[in-house]
Structure 1
Amino acid sequence: MKKRILKNPIQDKSNGFLDSFVGRKVKVYRGGPESKEGTLLYGNADYLALHLEKEEKDLSNIVYYHTQHVRSISENSKSNSIQKTVINTMDQEVIDTDSFSEVVYRLRNKKVKINQGGPEATDGYLLDSTTDYLVLFTEKDGIVYFNIHHIKSVREFIQQEGEETEHSMTFFPANKFEDLFKRMTHTWVSINRGGPEALEGILVEIEEGNYTLINNEEVLKIQPFHVRSISPGSKGSFDQGEKEDSIDDEKNSNHSGDRETSGNRSSDRRSTSNRSSDRRSTSNRSNRRNTGGLQHRDDERTGRRDWREKYKREKVVKSVDYEWKPVKEY
């Protein structure tokens, strides 16, 4: 495996206790879905940037951690003390700013992964970001609003050739995360993406800043600050709606094709019938010219016979239609 050695470690504005780790191999978190190993590129009081040695498909090698959620950073001193030959230098750009919310803001209009694992791990297109929340468009739930204070990490996807980077989706504008709740009152919402704290129901404001979620007989009190994410509708409803629309479009397309095919067949049959009729008419005219008056007399006799047969059939039909049926006496 190739070893990537930091070429020019960023050390300005870094947090005091992280200075000694910058440019060295460390492990962020000792375990769990957020645990990653790599080279620390940057760290300050609000976030740190970690370059991963193990590459993951379609994902950038740089993970940005929200420092306030990082429980531990460990270093293998023995491994870091071994002298290594520089095999490859890293030339990837690292977002150098003051806060984690500013890092997220720089990733707008890009596909990102929110958290590296766990029930709140979600990927989608970052539509907007403020110092308090971010707006993510996901294929499963549509628009989802994340409380930025509860996000543990963010990571960018590698943009594929021809991939759309801008999505024209409407969402609620608000200054703070809690203001979104007022815009979603008296509607069905989904709170948190997964885990035991995932809830669904009708959102109702009971007093300023406090809400209840009603689902059948269950009534739950909610404070927006402790909510990790919220989205209108039930979880997975956006994906289900997209599938239903796709099925309807396919059915309409098939029906249109069937009607067109049926119309073509009818037109073909009419055209064939017209050609046959023309051939019969031409043949009859030719035969009449060839046979002359003799054929004319035969036609008259044939016509009289046909009339007699028709008359007989009509009489029989009439006798059947008006057949007398005696009434039974009781």
Structure 2
Amino acid sequence: MSKDVTKFLRDKVFQVDRGGPESRIGKLLHSGDDYIAVLTEDDGVVYYNTHHIKSFTENTKGQMEFDVEAPKDFKYKKAENFKELLESLKYLWVKINRGGPEAVEGVLCDVKKDFVYVVSKDELVRIALFPIKNVSYGAKIEKAKSK
């Protein structure tokens, strides 16, 4: 993904993809070599593998509802690339992919060259790296209070 696109989206409300279980409305927090970090209302920070993003829709008319502001001291994970980001999430509770049959929640226990390993319930799930569309972990922000 071009750094020009991510510079253009910084601090703007936009929608990742046009619909479906992976689509979210949010604000761009950070961009790495092959991922972006998006602050969302319901899921906190969602890290998108940019190889799977099909479109961005900007909120030009203010019709996308987004009522979250990150505090100045809000901390979230950053890395050079998506694999390094996944490595920084080891031993944390993660949600991989937002919905559909490939969604997995559990503790990310290992990251290898081509797979990640997640303990989910009583199972060890091996997930190929390439099809991972997005990931999030426990950090969330409370919605802003109405004035």
Tell me which interval the TM-score lies in, with the shorter structure as reference length: 0.7 to 0.9
Matches of residues 3-14 of structure 1 in structure 2 within 5 Å?
Answer: none
Question: Contact between 2:32 and 2:79, CA under 8 Å: does it hold in 1?
Answer: no
Aligned CA distance change for structure 1 residues 186 and 157 (closer, same or farther; 3 Å): same
Does the 8 Å CA contact 1:178/1:209 hold for their aligned counterparts? no
TM-score, with length taken from structure 2: 0.81
Report the CA distance shift for 1:164/1:193 in structure 2 as closer, same or farther (over 3 A): closer
Secondary structure of the residue that 2:117 maps to in structure 1?
strand
- The Cα offsets for residues 301-329 of structure 1, whole Å up to 9 and x where unpaired, read as xxxxxxxxxxxxxxxxxxxxxxxxxxxxx
Counterpart in 2 of 1:186? Answer: 91
Asked if residue 175 in structure 1 is aligned to residue 80 in structure 2, the reply is yes
- After TM superposition, give the deviation of residue 101 of structure 1 in Å: 5.0
Is the CA contact 1:110–1:165 (under 8 Å) kept in the aligned structure 2?
no
**SS of residue paired to 1:181:** helix
CA contact (8 A) 2:93 2:137 kept: yes
| Paired residue secondary structure (1:203) | strand
Are 1:120 and 2:22 an aligned pair? yes
Paired with 1:108 and 1:173, the residues of 2 have a C-alpha distance of: 15
In the alignment, the residues of structure 2 paired with residue 174 and residue 151 of structure 1 have an alpha-carbon distance, to the nearest angstrom, of: 19
Q: Is the 8 A contact 2:16 2:24 kept in 1?
A: yes
The one-character-per-residue Cα deviations of 1:60-107 (angstroms, maximum 9, x if unpaired) are xxxxxxxxxxxxxxxxxxxxxxxxxxxxxxxxxxxxxxx655323321
> 2:93·2:107 contact (CA, 8 Å) conserved in 1?
yes
Deviations 1:172-219 (A, max 9, x none): 121110111111111110001111111101111164453211112222
* TM-score under structure 1 length normalisation: 0.38
Distance 1:221 1:165, change over 3 A: closer
Q: Which residue of 2 aligns with 1:228?
A: 133
Q: Which consecutive unaligned segments of at least 5 residues does structure 2 have?
A: none
CA distance in 2, matches of 1:210, 1:159: 41
Query: SS state of the match for residue 226, structure 1?
Result: coil
Contact preservation (8 Å) 1:178, 1:225 = no
Aligned partners of 2:69, 2:118: CA distance in 1, in Å?
33
Q: Which amino acid aligns with 1:102?
A: D
Q: Give % identity.
A: 37
User: Could you say what the CA RMSD is over the residues aligned between the two structures, in angstroms?
Assistant: 2.7
Contact 1:105 1:128 in 2 (8 A): no
Aligned mates of 1:101, 1:209 — CA distance in 2: 26
Letter in 2 for 1:141: D
Q: Does 1:198 align with 2:100?
A: no
Which of residues 44, 55, 58 in structure 2 aligns to 1:142? 44
Partner of 1:157: 59
Instruction: List runs of 5+ in structure 1 lacking aligned partners.
Output: 1-98, 247-330
Structure of greater relative contact order (alpha carbons < 8 Å, 6+ residues apart) = 2
Q: Aligned-pair distance for 1:164?
A: 8.6
Larger Rg: 1
- Residue 86 of structure 2 aligns to a residue in which SS? helix
Higher relative helix content = 1
Aligned length: 139
